[in-house]
């Protein structure tokens, strides 16, 4: 919940300019709902895709204050973040609701970025794998194997979001490897190897390369650092090979 119309446009413009024709990395920005259309105009013709931070799992109807997947597609969104930890823990979203969102996003032609992750209490109780297993199995219920190619998974340890405390590269790798093994158990080895897994949790230019160098970490879901174009572009560069 940051930026104004003017600063959102300025930030998106700087990212488009900074990325240029670079095509070895996939980049998307997810501004707040009021600025989606303005940012979409800036991104037109660029290599930066548009995403939203959330959606309601219905096409239309009497859901005052909500935004539908078809509305997101209509304004140019390609991605939507689903089940972010702040929505789970601050706004009470359940695995069942998140699963509805995943299925409705896929049906609308959006690529869902499904977030999973444990709290500090759960990690200290050695429940990390149990929490990730539950969130994935419930969040991906009734999703077909063929639909998995339209999904991105994001491991975001709740204890590392907005705290300045990030998981070590080894912790990020362990969790991401477990996520991949779980996907293999549910859907098979091939889709498990193909699905992108991001790490999200206080990603900064200083730690981005070491995190994304891990074999099962394919990218980053960036929070505060994306509000400063130079920092976000530095994280993008950290994802490039070589």
107-122 confidence digits (pLDDT tens): 999 999 999 999 999 9
- Residues catalogued as catalytic: 84, 156
Q: Are 79 and 51 in contact (CB under 8 A)?
A: yes
Could you report the per-residue pLDDT of 3-51, keeping only the tens digit for each? 999 999 999 999 999 999 999 999 999 999 999 999 999 999 999 999 9
Burial 56-73 (b: 16+ CB within 10 A, else e): bbeeeeeeeeebbbbbbb
> Taking CA 165 as the corner, what is the angle to CA 161 and CA 168, rounded to the nearest 5 degrees?
105
Q: What is the mean pLDDT of residues 67-82?
A: 98
Can you give the pLDDT at residue 180? 98
Q: Are 115 and 221 in contact (CB under 8 A)?
A: yes
Can you give the pLDDT at residue 164? 67
Can you give the pLDDT at residue 161? 76
Can you give the pLDDT at residue 241? 87
Could you report the per-residue pLDDT of 99-154, keeping only the tens digit for each? 999 999 999 999 999 999 999 999 999 999 999 999 999 999 999 999 999 999 99
> Does the structure show a pLDDT above 90 at 52?
yes
Tally of CA atoms within 13 A in the half-sphere of 41 that contains its CB: 8
Q: Is 38 left (phi over 0), alpha (psi -120 to 50) or beta?
A: alpha
Nearest to 95 by CA among 111, 79, 82, 76: 82
What percentage of the chain reaches a pLDDT higher than 70?
99
Say how many residues make up the chain: 242
The alpha helices in 140-204, defined as continuous H runs, are 169-187, 189-194
Could you report the per-residue pLDDT of 188-228, keeping only the tens digit for each? 999 999 999 999 988 999 999 999 999 999 999 999 999 99
Query: Between helices 95-108 and 128-139, what is the axis angle to 10°?
Result: 50
Q: What is the mean pLDDT of residues 177-184?
A: 98
Q: Does the model's pTM come out above 0.95?
A: yes
In which residue are the tokens 């194997």 written?
145
> Does the structure show a pLDDT above 90 at 242?
no
């Amino acid at each position: 919940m940051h930026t104004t119309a003017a600063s959102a446009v300025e930030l998106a413009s700087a990212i488009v300019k900074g990325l240029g024709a670079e095509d070895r990395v996939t980049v998307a920005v997810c501004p707040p709902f009021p600025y989606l259309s303005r940012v979409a105009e800036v991104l037109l013709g660029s290599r930066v895709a548009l995403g939203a931070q959330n959606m309601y799992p219905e096409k239309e109807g009497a859901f005052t204050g909500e935004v539908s997947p078809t509305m997101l597609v209509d304004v140019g969104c390609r991605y939507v973040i689903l089940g972010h930890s702040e929505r789970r823990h601050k706004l009470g979203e359940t695995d069942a609701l998140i699963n509805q969102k995943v299925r409705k996003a896929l049906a609308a032609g959006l690529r869902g970025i499904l977030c999973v992750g444990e709290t500090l209490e759960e990690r200290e109780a050695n429940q990390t794998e149990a929490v990730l297993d539950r969130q994935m199995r419930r969040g991906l219920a009734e999703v077909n194997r063929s639909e998995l190619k339209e999904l991105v998974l994001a491991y975001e340890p709740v204890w590392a979001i907005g705290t300045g405390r990030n998981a070590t590269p080894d912790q990020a790798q362990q969790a991401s490897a477990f996520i991949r093994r779980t996907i293999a158990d549910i859907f098979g080895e091939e889709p498990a190897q193909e699905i992108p897994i991001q790490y999200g949790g206080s990603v900064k230019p200083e730690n981005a390369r070491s995190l994304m160098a891990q074999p099962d970490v394919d990218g980053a879901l960036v929070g505060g650092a994306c509000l400063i174009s130079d920092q976000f572009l530095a994280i993008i560069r950290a994802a490039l090979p070589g």
